[in-house]
Copies of this chain bind each other. A is one copy, B any other.
């Protein structure tokens, strides 16, 4: 039977299956990042990472001191920066240039494109990531990991960006508004046997193999894994269909190495090798 409000879902968001999946994800995230129940809350939010970060900031006064630089830092800065704010904010990994940032003095950490490849920033008061990037789940769920002793400082903007509301519903294993149900189940599935060491090793190996080819023809690279941001010398024309083009690209291309199957990665390597072989200048 499937006469639920959301027609494409096989269950609804107040069902026991939903709640079990919700709680399973919370437990897996706790285990993965070593977040004991007495110190940390793990909230699952049915929204994308940008909205989840805004929720965090707006739940604690709406203003932060932005401590990192880059495209994503800049976006937060434009709306929420205040040099006198209580909380410091930073982006762990600025994906546009594959750059790991110093967030060692940050209270709130945007780890949307960073976890679990990088270590969990244990000093932080709250950390945000998403299900649909490195965790390879479908429709986006955000995860806000927040120290329990932070709640006393909440001054939320009322409404659907108020994390206190999600915290109340999380006690039931639910959300205050209609979420993507299949997206939640997909996230649970990805976390079922998630092996973080194997995940990191896979990315490092992919980075090593692709970067060696690029390096071998005098290409440039920015930053490091888990993405590979590169530029080939101008005589090699790499098409724009296979790679992500960062803003203001000037020939830069990106591959997010957490995505794609092993065979797709072999095809990618072959494609780059082919571009190099077939370059008119050779």
Question: Contact residues of A with B, CB < 8 Å?
Answer: 1-8, 12, 14, 46-51, 54, 58, 78-80, 95, 113, 132-134, 136-140, 157-161, 176-180, 182-183, 186, 241-245, 254-261, 264-265, 267-268, 271
* Cβ of A2 to closest chain B Cβ, rounded Å: 5
Report Cα–Cα, A14/B244, bound state, in Å: 9
How long is the Cα–Cα vector from A3 to B4 in the complex, in angstroms? 35
Candidates B79, B133, B243, B261; contact of A159 at CB < 8 Å: B79
Q: A54-B159, A139-B183, A160-B51 are in contact. Are A7 and B177 (CB under 8 A)?
A: no
Q: Flag if A264 contacts B48 (CB, 8 Å).
A: no
Are A7 and B256 interface neighbours, CB within 8 A? yes
**Closest chain B residue, CB of each to CB of A2:** B260
Q: Are A50 and B177 in contact (CB under 8 A)?
A: yes
Q: Indicate which residue in B14, B51, B58, B242 contacts A51 across the interface (CB closer than 8 Å).
A: B51
Q: Which residue of B lies closest to A243 (CB)?
A: B3
Chain B residues in 8 Å Cβ range of A138: 8, 139, 180, 182
**A258 → chain B closest CB, angstroms:** 6
Does B132 contact A7, Cβ atoms closer than 8 Å? yes
What are 26 pairs between A and B in contact, CB < 8 Å?
A1-B241, A1-B260, A1-B264, A1-B268, A2-B261, A3-B243, A3-B256, A3-B257, A3-B268, A4-B256, A5-B244, A6-B259, A7-B132, A7-B136, A8-B132, A8-B136, A8-B138, A48-B178, A51-B51, A54-B159, A54-B160, A78-B158, A80-B159, A138-B139, A138-B182, A140-B180
